[in-house]
Structure 1
Amino acid sequence: MTRPEVFLVRQPMASPFIHGAHRRQTSDSVLLRWARGPYTGIGECAPRRYVTGETCESVLGELRSIDFDTLARALASEDPIDRGRTLYEQGLSSLPEGGVGNNTRCLVEMAALDSLARQAQLPLSAYLQGVIGPDAPAHRALPAAVNITQVLDLSQPVQAFLEQRKPRHSLKLKLASDPHANRQRLEAIRTLEPTLALYVDPNMSWSPEQLHSSAAQFRELDVALFEEPLPQGSLEEYRRARLTHNVAIMLDESVTSPSTLERAWQCEALDAVNLRIAKCGGLLATAKMIEQCFRWGLPVYLGVQVAEVGPLIAAHRALLSVYDGFLGVEAGQHDRFFDVTMMEPMPVIDRQQNAIHLPVPTQLGLGCALTPHVLPFHCATDDASPLNNPLHMERAR
């Protein structure tokens, strides 16, 4: 086994992405390339302090504490499908006693699953179906393409966005704290696109009073869901908004694990949930949460982290090749944000049809490899030297 290679990728974006809590101008991802003998796996995480309390620097610090030699021996100790089932049921072994954050777990697990799928001579989607077992929806005929839900952030005017992007079926609109500006944007959308399903996302920037008043004002504008408008963890307030004020709530930042999903469900705090691979702790935890939601009949919105640069995009496609029936699916904007790619081949987005095509996977594992463009972002994590000071690319508004 070779030591894992780690890359801290902070790549400037062609245009900023702005929402009610933050302004993003670069990617902020950690990539991992890990060779176990002839099988090389890659992974990515995109930590956000305001979501899970993690940063790229905290992930790099936790990577130093992982015994990759012991983990490699554990992964080699069973048939790759059986080992994947053990990971699904028990999680990663050889982690520090105090555990690691969701993004670190996502990063290491993704590289492990990629290498195990290659060892099993399977595309990752087929490997996941074998790992999940009898509950895997392999018998379902999945669609050849999935419509995507586009996201209109605060950096773009409504009319120009609708003319250029031509969203179909649904649209997520980022909102800020100004009620008048919010209503103007919604009215402009409804004038130009009266039939779009509208989801609004204030990114935890509202108070309960603003949620109740905005919900009343927006009712005539037919807003389908309010995504995580209140500070993270406001489950009782969400329950009150749903049951007393008839506000439909989609949770995001408050749900980062199967246990927090269960807690929100028991509290009657949500009508739908936005699941993203990195914040949920990886592919396997996300799959467990999708399975649980489907059993409950709870709609799932499959989101992405802004400015993902590679393996997370491919992992997202693998989930779309295993599950269908999502309330909405985001595709990200890597094709618009970045001039050079950190991974090849990069999954394609059909911008003419606003869709992700899902051809039958033929390449093993994630089906991708990191490109030489990652090399300038290489990080040494095998010593205790101080990490570089973070570049503060995620600024509080």
Structure 2
Amino acid sequence: MIESIRVLTVAAPLAVGFDHASHTRTHSASVLVELTLASGHRGWGEGAPRPYVTGETLDSAVDALVTAAPDILADAVDWRSVDTVVDSLASIDLPMVFGGRYPAPAAAAAWETAVLDAACRVAGRLMSDAVRMAAAPSWRPPEPVPVSLVIDLSRDVTVTLGRLPEPSRAALRHVKVKVGRDVDDAVKRVAQAMSHLTAETSVSVDVNGAWRADQADRAASRLAELGVAWIEEPTSARDWAGMARLCRAGVPVMLDESCGGEDDLRRAADAGAATHVNIRVSKCGGIIPSVRLAACADALDIERQLGVQVAEIGPLWAVGRALATSLTGWRAVEAGRGDEWFLEPLTEPAFAVDRTRHLAAPLTGPGTGITPTPALLGIARPRAQWCAGDGSWRAAS
């Protein structure tokens, strides 16, 4: 069924940088999987390895794909229909298969999303259909969804919100404010945001694990007084005791880097250390693990946000769009800023968000409905290629 696999990496320069407490990003960092079937249909998948999130790098993700993919190809995927493909993938712990001793969720996400994209294209189905088949907790026919505004550390809060026309500010449903290690500056940035917004717009703060426990404790009461909706990843990853202390003080806490899957979420729930969780496709290992984590959050009465990796170049934001527009229950949805980060479109159709009404529309498929542009393929670095004829990997051209 699979004729060939090609693995590429992309480090596209950003027209506008993105800063948060853990990293300053000036380029994308994605691994792409191009899957060509005997029918001629192609599926595209993407993973965004981030050392500070999952410990993966571009090179380790490529190595994981090249090492594990031939074994997975043999018998693991039943290609008879989209349903059987979803069932096949759901039966495998892909992050562990690709990672071996340690999970490799970005590599798994690149592989899984390519397989699902190819299967949906063959059947003429939308990617949202694969979401429904993955036992999604609250599926609906795709419809536009409100998306958050994320203000990173490179942007002044007052200037960013002040530039928005009043109708556009009023249409915002959620604003995330990135902050650094300085607690006083963090409180100032949140207060500035709230001074420009109505009570209908919630505001959260994302620390990216930068605060010590004592800093988080000191900031909590001040941010609670301002009415912050939640603090995302306030202290070091999996500091269950510190985050539980904030929750007991009445400050909602969202897990991000601390939650790679259901086991982490259950541990946090048992410790009373989380009220919210940020679900990101690459961090979780694909669409199916993301859907399962959403269902787990619902069962634990933990609210959920659909997040993104900074500088997703195509397949990742597209499958995220499928999750965002076909599942209900998101407390907030991030869509990324592909229209601002890259100098020219990297996909056809191009990344698009209604920045006036802050809405993301569904993609139309089949599959994700997108293909890489010549601009994207022109900057992609081919790393390895597998062909069914000889069943082995070789350097890609």
TM-score (norm 1): 0.88
Change in CA separation of 1:179 and 1:67 when aligned onto 2, cut-off 3 Å: closer
Question: What does 1:164-243 align with in structure 2 at a 5 Å threshold?
Answer: 164-165=163-164, 166-167=168-169, 168-195=172-199, 196-243=201-248
Q: What's the offset of the Cα at 1:3? A: 3.3
SS at match of 1:198: strand
Over 3 Å counting, the alpha-carbon distance change for 1:45 and 1:182 in structure 2 is same
Matches within 5 A, 1:55-66: 55-66=57-68
List runs of 5+ in structure 2 lacking aligned partners: 386-391
**Aligned AA (1:36):** L
Map 1:156-167 to 2 at 5 A.
Answer: 156-165=155-164, 166-167=168-169
Please tell me the residue identity of whatever aligns with 1:266. Answer: D
SS at match of 2:360: strand
Kindly state the Cα deviation for residue 98 of structure 1 after the two structures are TM-superposed: 4.5
Question: Structure 2 residue aligned with 1:86, among 70, 85, 88?
Answer: 88
- In structure 2, the residue matched to 1:54 is 56
C-alpha displacement of 1:76: 4.7
Across the aligned residues of Structure 1 and Structure 2, the Cα RMSD in angstroms comes to 2.5
SS across alignment from 2:229: strand
1:32-72 CA distance string (max 9 Å, x none):
11112123110011111111111111101112202437516
Runs of 4+ with deviation above 6 angstroms: 383-387
TM-aligned CA distance change 1:249 to 1:115, over 3 Å = same
User: 2-side partners of 1:132 and 1:64: how far apart?
Assistant: 26
Equivalenced residues, count: 380
Are 1:103 and 2:102 matched, yes or no? Answer: no
Which whole-Å CA distance do the structure 2 matches of 1:357 and 1:384 have between them?
A: 38
Q: How far is 1:202 from its partner?
A: 1.1
Work out whether 1:128 is the aligned partner of 2:127.
no
1:10 aligned onto 2:14: no
- The 1:94–1:162 alpha-carbon spacing in structure 2 relative to 1, beyond 3 Å, is closer
Equivalent AA in structure 2 for residue 31 of structure 1: L
- Between 119-128 and 107-116, the greater mean CA deviation after superposition: 119-128
Q: Does 1:298 align with 2:334?
A: no
Give the alignment partner of residue 286 of structure 1, picking from 287, 290, 302.
290
Q: 1:85 to 1:181 in 2, by over 3 A?
A: same
Q: Which among 107, 114, 117 is matched to residue 117 of structure 2?
A: 114
CA distance in 2: counterparts of 1:386 and 1:208, whole angstroms: 48
Contact kept in structure 2, 1:59 and 1:101, CA below 8 Å: yes
Provide the C-alpha distance between the structure 2 equivalents of 1:89 and 1:279, rounded to a whole number of angstroms. 19
Q: CA–CA distance in 2 between the matches of 1:151 and 1:91?
A: 32
Q: Give the secondary structure class of the aligned counterpart of 2:339.
A: helix
Q: C-alpha displacement at 1:4, in angstroms? A: 1.7
Report if the CA contact (8 A) 1:84-1:116 is conserved: no
Equivalent residues in 2 for 1:318-357, closer than 5 Å: 318-357=322-361
Q: Is the 8 A contact 1:63 1:381 kept in 2?
A: no
Cα contact 1:7–1:375 (8 A) shared by 2: no
Q: Is the 8 A contact 1:293 1:299 kept in 2?
A: yes
Structure-2 change in CA distance of 1:59 and 1:127 (3 Å): same
Structure 2 length as normaliser, TM-score? Answer: 0.88
Q: Which amino acid aligns with 2:343?
A: D
Measure, in 2, the Cα distance between the counterparts of 1:236 and 1:170: 28
* Equivalent residue, structure 2, for 1:271: 275
Q: Distance in 1 between matches of 2:189 and 2:71?
A: 54
Measure the CA separation in 2 of the matches of 1:13 and 1:72: 39
Over 3 Å counting, the alpha-carbon distance change for 1:254 and 1:97 in structure 2 is closer
Residue 100 of structure 1, CA deviation: 5.0
Corresponding position of 1:364 = 366
Shift of 1:23: 0.8
| Letter aligned with residue 290 of structure 1 | A
Give the Cα separation in 1 of the matches to 2:214 and 2:289: 34
Q: SS where residue 15 of structure 1 aligns? A: strand
Where do 5+ consecutive residues of structure 1 fail to align? Answer: 388-397
**Could you list the per-position Cα deviations for residues 298-318 of structure 1 after superposition, in whole angstroms to 9, with x for gaps in the alignment?**
211011111111000110111
- Could you say which residue in structure 1 is the equivalent of 2:389? none
Aligned-pair distance for 1:325? 2.0
Deviations 1:328-384 (A, max 9, x none): 0011000001012332113420011111123xx542111111222213322223599
TM-superposed CA distance for 1:108, in Å, is: 0.5
Using the TM superposition, name which of 324-333 and 144-153 deviates more.
Answer: 144-153
Match of 1:381? 384
